């Protein structure tokens, strides 16, 4: 099962994970005995994330990347397969306590406006986490809060302010400080800069890079923006309709993409090149619904290279270079 194995000690091992959501039948469908329909948001994913590694997860909306990310913090439970954190099944961890899941795995959300309590000052929000998870006692909390604020580059004065008085970038820093408060082994970042302006986005990306280098924490970075992933990540997984279609070291993915979907994604990104006047679009059509995944290779209806075999046989992931895999009948 573990085809997509990385290098180094494994922090997270995802093996054959599927997350399916049944669709509620209307009573008309129930009487008519229409088949139960299932959204196959994640549909068989194998991935390994090493200690201190930053793995990027990219794909269009509807590819299942957020569902997979949320499954790693047990917001969703996998329908099939297993997720192991440091060789131990995620489901066997207690939620709380010193080795509880909440101490090990943390999440930072996209929207810094809705993920903070508007009535709690920054210090109160952070202190709550510290005390609840017994990271330190009340006496040590104030010192720990100022250490956290320093770590995420916020001035001391922010501690007594409410989220409403902070900018988007500052709030995202508070969200990060809150995740870092329990000293987790692994942080899931779901589109952490998508809601921010370019100049602020750059500040947060630099901060994330520092944390990656110094905090010794493994990260999964979910992003739709490929340049952000290239900038931040050691390895990249490209997701399409619930599957990883290509996986490898960042440089390999960006310079020698093998899967036609990855190649199309890269071509679709606008560049800062004024001469490159826009030409015909590279990829036609929308991503199909995960309610109704095409047979054979799930990318075949949009693929410029599709042949007969692609309509019939789902290609398995194949190793094309050390650590570089793609699930395609005609890679390259």
52-91: which residues touch other proteins (CB under 8 A)? 60-61
Number of Cβ atoms within 10 Å of the Cβ of 288: 16
- CA pair distance 70, 107, nearest whole angstrom: 8
For residue 316, CA distances in Å to 46, 233, 270, 321, 325 come to 12, 25, 31, 15, 10
- CB within 8 Å of 177: residues ≥ 6 apart: 126, 148, 149, 151, 152, 154
Q: Binding of other proteins at residue 155 (CB under 8 A)?
A: no
Q: Binding of other proteins at residue 200 (CB under 8 A)?
A: yes
For residue 156, CA distances in Å to 113, 148, 149, 160 come to 21, 10, 7, 9
- CA pair distance 49, 207, nearest whole angstrom: 21
118, exposed or middle or buried, with CB in 10 Å at 0-12, 13-18, 19+? exposed
Q: Binding of other proteins at residue 284 (CB under 8 A)?
A: yes
Type and span of the H or E element at 57: strand 54-58
* Of the candidate residues 3, 135, 162, 266, the single one contacting other proteins (CB under 8 A): 266
Q: Binding of other proteins at residue 198 (CB under 8 A)?
A: yes
Q: Binding of other proteins at residue 215 (CB under 8 A)?
A: no
Q: Binding of other proteins at residue 231 (CB under 8 A)?
A: yes
Report, in Å, the least distance between residue 144 CB and other proteins: 26
112-151: which residues touch other proteins (CB under 8 A)? none
11-40: which residues touch other proteins (CB under 8 A)? none
Q: 85 or 176, CB closer to other proteins?
A: 176
Q: Binding of other proteins at residue 312 (CB under 8 A)?
A: no
Q: Please answer whether residues 46 and 82 qualify as being in contact, where contact means their C-beta atoms are separated by less than 8 angstroms.
A: no
Q: Binding of other proteins at residue 239 (CB under 8 A)?
A: no
Report, in Å, the least distance between residue 148 CB and other proteins: 21
Q: Binding of other proteins at residue 226 (CB under 8 A)?
A: yes
Q: Binding of other proteins at residue 227 (CB under 8 A)?
A: yes
Report, in Å, the least distance between residue 116 CB and other proteins: 18
* Of the candidate residues 7, 26, 167, 307, the single one contacting other proteins (CB under 8 A): 167
- CA pair distance 205, 157, nearest whole angstrom: 23
Q: Binding of other proteins at residue 172 (CB under 8 A)?
A: no
Q: Which token pair is 284? A: 């036609």
Beta strands (DSSP E) in 100-185 are: 105-108
By CB under 8 A, which span of 83-91, 107-115, 266-274, 292-300 interacts with other proteins?
Answer: 266-274
Residues that bind other proteins (CB under 8 A): 60-61, 167, 169, 197-203, 205-206, 209, 224-228, 230-232, 250-251, 254, 264-284, 286-287
């Amino acid at each position: 099962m573990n085809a997509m194995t990385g290098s180094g000690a494994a922090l997270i091992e995802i093996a054959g994970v599927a997350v399916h959501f049944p669709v509620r039948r209307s009573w008309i469908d129930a009487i008519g005995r229409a088949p139960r329909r299932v959204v196959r948001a994640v549909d068989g994913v194998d991935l390994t994330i090493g200690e201190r590694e930053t793995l990027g997860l990219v794909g269009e909306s509807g590819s299942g990347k957020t569902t997979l990310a949320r499954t790693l913090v047990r917001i969703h439970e996998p329908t099939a397969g297993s997720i192991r954190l440091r060789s131990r099944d995620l489901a066997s961890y207690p939620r709380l306590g010193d080795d509880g899941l909440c101490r090990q795995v943390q999440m930072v959300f996209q929207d810094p406006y809705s993920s903070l309590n508007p009535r709690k000052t920054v210090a109160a929000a952070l202190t709550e986490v510290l005390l609840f998870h017994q990271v330190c006692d009340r006496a040590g909390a104030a010192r720990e809060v100022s250490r956290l604020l320093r770590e995420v580059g916020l001035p001391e004065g922010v501690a007594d302010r409410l989220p409403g008085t902070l900018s988007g970038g500052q709030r995202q820093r508070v969200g990060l400080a809150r995740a870092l408060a329990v000293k987790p082994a692994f942080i899931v970042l779901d589109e952490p800069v998508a809601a921010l302006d370019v100049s602020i986005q750059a500040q947060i990306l630099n901060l994330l890079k520092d944390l990656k280098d110094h905090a010794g924490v493994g990260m999964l970075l979910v992003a739709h923006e490929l340049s952000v992933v290239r900038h931040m990540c050691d390895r990249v997984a490209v997701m399409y309709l619930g599957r990883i279609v290509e996986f490898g070291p960042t440089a390999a993915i960006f310079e020698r993409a093998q899967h036609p979907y990855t190649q199309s994604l890269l071509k679709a990104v606008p560049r800062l090149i004024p001469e490159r006047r826009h030409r015909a679009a590279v990829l036609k059509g929308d991503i199909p619904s995960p309610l109704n995944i095409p047979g054979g290779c799930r990318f075949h209806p949009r693929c410029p290279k599709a042949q007969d075999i692609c309509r019939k046989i789902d290609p398995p992931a194949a190793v094309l270079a050390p650590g570089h895999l793609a699930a395609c009948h005609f890679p390259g």
